[in-house]
Structure formats: C-alpha cells, structure tokens
Amino acid sequence: MNRFLRCLPKAATPLVITITIAMGATPVMAAQSAPALPQMGFNNWNSTHCRPAFNEKMIRGIANKFISLGLRDAGYRYVNIDDCWANWKRDKNGRLEANPKRFPSGIKALADYIHSKGLKFGLYSSAGTSTCQPLEENRGFPGGLGHEKQDAATFASWGVDYLKYDNCNNQNVPALKRYTAMAEALRATGRPIFFSVCEWGENKPWLWAGKPPVDAGSWRTTGDISDNYASMLKNFKQNVVLAKYATPGHWNDPDMLEVGNGGMTDVEYRSQFSLWSIMAAPLLIGTDLRTIKPDALKILLNKDVIAVDQDPLGVQGRQVSDTNGIHVIVKPLEGGSEAVAVFNETDTARKVSISASEIDLKKGMNYRFRNLWTHRARTGDGSIKIDLPAHATAMYRISRL
C-alpha cells in the first residue's frame, strides 16, 4: 500500500486527500479530519452536564462499557468529553490544563487509556474567550479564541482525535474566521483530528463549514437538544430539510442522542434513533452507559438501523412528504437499495398508506421489504400500509427482487 495512504485512519476515504509531491521535496501528507461516514460514539453532556459525576472515573468506565456491551463491535468509536473538563485558568505558559478535581491524572492519561481499548478520544472547547458553562464565581473555562495554535498543539500532544468547538463568548468575531483559525491550527499539527463545528446553526454552517478552509466533519444545525419529545421533534424538523448540504465526510448534526435518559418513551427513542440514522446524522450516545437499561441498549445496538446511518453511499435521506404530521424520508443505499422511514409526529395512532412512486420505486415491480425494528422481511409491490402509533417511526430497507 502507498505509504501515504497507510497513515490514514481506516474509515477515511482516500478521495478527500490531496498529496502534493514537488520535485526533490519531501512528500507531505495533508492532515485530514473527516471519516467518510457519520461519527459514532459517546459524549457525556446529555447525561451529566457539569455535575461532579463527570470525571475521569466515569469516562474510563464508559470506555470499558464500549467493549463489554458490544458498542465498539457495533461501530461506536469516539469517547468524547464535553464542557467543564478544563481548569479555570491556563497555566503560566498559557497552556490549557485539566481540571485537577475531575481529571487528576490529566487528559493525556485518559486519552491513552481510551486508545488502549481500541477507541478514539474527543475533547471540547469554544471558539470564544470562554466556554459556555458554568459562570460560577464569575469566571468561565478558557476558550480557544486567539489561542488556536497553542490549543491545537496541546490537543495533538495529548492524543486528541476529535474536537467539538462551541460558539459561546465569541466576541462577535465572524464565525467563518473563528472556525477557520481552529481548523487550520488543527491541520497544522499533522494529527488527524475530527473537527465538529458547534455554532447551533446560527450562521448557516451548512453553507460553509463542510468546505475548505474549514472542512469540518460535521456542523450542528440546531440549538441544544433536551430529553423530551418536543425538543427532539424540533431538531429533527430543522435538520431534515438540510439534506442536500450533507456529503460524505461532511454531515449535518441535529445534536446528540437522548436514548436512555428517561425523558421520552421507548417509542420516541426508537424514533430519534431511526430519524437520526436516516438523516445520516452523527450517532453520539448521550446516556450513562454504566447504568443503561436493556431496552435502551437494544435501540443503540440495532445493527440494521446503524447500517442505514453508516451506509457507504453517504447520502442524507430526503423528506419526500410531510403531510398532516406524517413524515416520509427516503435514503438511497449502496447497491441500489433504499431505506424508508415513516414517522408519525402526531399524538394519535394513524393508518398510513404510501404508494411505490411516492418513495421513488417503480410500479409493477416486486420488492423485498425488511422491517428494521421487527427484523422481519416480506415481499410486495413497493407500497406501504401500516398502523403507526403516536410518535412512532417505522423503518424499512427495500431492495428489488
């Protein structure tokens, strides 16, 4: 194998790499940050926020659970930590430091531990003078604005594989400028660090964040999700209409999963997992895996649904209809199959009929339908008739017979 391609992470697409070899010059491997498929992993924010429960013991425990619960085998890779990991102040050389109470062994030791499990490690900062939380004692945690080169070098020296870069305290510096500065600083380290832009959709990041010079792997399209149906629905609706802006390695991000956190029913959590997957969204688990209930774990381990999110074609599903609270989304898959999700947004059970042509299928042909939640298959002419409970989503993989 070409020695430059050998330095790429497994999931990378060689197509996105530019290698310039000048006569007599040393060949340079362009640092690249975007795996081709939506990132899968964990982030502590939705389960802990800044509570003291967020500490190195927890994160090591989560990494262990990735292995023992089969999450690594199902494709989850990143163990990411969110706001409140840092010390209040930079050190005397201006370097970021870990909060000594929460992470007494330091961030490098944590990253090493996570890497030893065959996993990747992600960190959080903000493209502002301080991060979003908390304003305790009138001070926030230091942000990256104006410190991009030093912070990126620190992250690389710690073995960081992923940076979520938030938007608080941005001093009204234009977003493109702020996110470009960090993207360039990360690339300059030579370490592939996935760049996750988190400016909540404020500056239409779908128009610029996926392209050079930022070239981020994903960008948030919404405000923060909360663990309730209304919030999940709102983020879904904002994200589903942005399908055309997602391309392989550059994803719309409607925020993290709430599955398992207890504020929604399992029907609603199955909807979140289905909708996020058909939208080729990042699948970042937001619940404490050390105490997860079997039903929630079953949702997160549904390999048929994960395969839709991770389909190599890398296309975000397109909403083909949104009528009276019934949403139909179609995602083309590699090999000519497609996935279809039918979501009943309303508070009452509904009988739904969908014709073959509505979901981009030819009439008069025979198809195999695999129901991705019951795992049962049937054949049919391409039309769908179902009884959908309130807030439920049915999901199929459909192939020509």
Phi, psi for residue 176 in degrees, rounded to 5: -55, -40
Residues 6+ apart with CB under 8 A from 35: 9, 11, 12, 194, 217, 249
Looking at residue 314, its amino acid is G
Nearer to ligand GLA, 141 or 245 (CB): 141
Taking the complex as a whole, the smallest distance from the CB of residue 83 to ligand GLA amounts, in Å, to: 3
Is residue 133 involved in binding ligand GLA (CB under 6 A)? yes
Nearer to ligand GLA, 161 or 166 (CB): 166
Burial 329-347 (b: 16+ CB within 10 A, else e): bbbebeeebbbbbbbbbee
Nearer to ligand GLA, 175 or 341 (CB): 175
Taking the complex as a whole, the smallest distance from the CB of residue 133 to ligand GLA amounts, in Å, to: 4
Is residue 45 involved in binding ligand GLA (CB under 6 A)? yes
Residues in the chain: 401
Taking the complex as a whole, the smallest distance from the CB of residue 136 to ligand GLA amounts, in Å, to: 12
Is residue 322 involved in binding ligand GLA (CB under 6 A)? no
Total residues in contact with ligand GLA, by rule CB under 6 A? 10
Nearer to ligand GLA, 131 or 203 (CB): 131
Supply the residues annotated as catalytic.
Answer: 166, 224
Q: Which one of 100-108, 127-135, 269-277, 342-350 is the stretch in contact with ligand GLA (CB under 6 A)?
A: 127-135
Nearer to ligand GLA, 55 or 344 (CB): 55
Residues 144 and 126 sit within 8 Å (Cβ to Cβ): yes
Is residue 224 involved in binding ligand GLA (CB under 6 A)? yes
Phi, psi for residue 98 in degrees, rounded to 5: -75, 150
Question: Mask of contacts with ligand GLA, 181-210, x by CB under 6 A?
Answer: -----------------x-x----------
For ligand GLA, which residue of 56, 82, 258, 338 counts as binding (CB under 6 A)? 82
Nearer to ligand GLA, 83 or 148 (CB): 83
What does the alpha-carbon distance between residue 27 and residue 41 come to, in Å, rounded to a whole number?
33
Is residue 234 involved in binding ligand GLA (CB under 6 A)? no
Neighbouring C-beta atoms of residue 135, cutoff 10 Å = 12
Residues 95 and 154 sit within 8 Å (Cβ to Cβ): yes
For ligand GLA, which residue of 81, 132, 278, 394 counts as binding (CB under 6 A)? 132
Q: Which one of 27-35, 131-139, 176-184, 231-239 is the stretch in contact with ligand GLA (CB under 6 A)?
A: 131-139
What does the alpha-carbon distance between residue 341 and residue 349 come to, in Å, rounded to a whole number?
16
What does the alpha-carbon distance between residue 93 and residue 337 come to, in Å, rounded to a whole number?
56
- Which of 323, 358, 324 shows the shortest CA–CA distance to 340? 358
Residues 6+ apart with CB under 8 A from 290: 58, 61, 62, 65
Helix (H) or strand (E) holding 194: strand 194-197
Q: Which one of 65-73, 126-134, 311-319, 386-394 is the stretch in contact with ligand GLA (CB under 6 A)?
A: 126-134
**Token output for 71:** 């999450």
| Burial class for 188, CB neighbours closer than 10 Å (0-12, 13-18, 19+) | middle
What does the alpha-carbon distance between residue 124 and residue 146 come to, in Å, rounded to a whole number?
16
For ligand GLA, which residue of 83, 161, 268, 311 counts as binding (CB under 6 A)? 83
Taking the complex as a whole, the smallest distance from the CB of residue 43 to ligand GLA amounts, in Å, to: 8
Nearer to ligand GLA, 131 or 344 (CB): 131
Taking the complex as a whole, the smallest distance from the CB of residue 199 to ligand GLA amounts, in Å, to: 9
Output Rg (C-alpha) for the chain, integer angstroms: 21
What does the alpha-carbon distance between residue 38 and residue 49 come to, in Å, rounded to a whole number?
24
Q: Which residues bind ligand GLA (CB under 6 A)?
A: 45, 82-83, 131-133, 166, 198, 200, 224
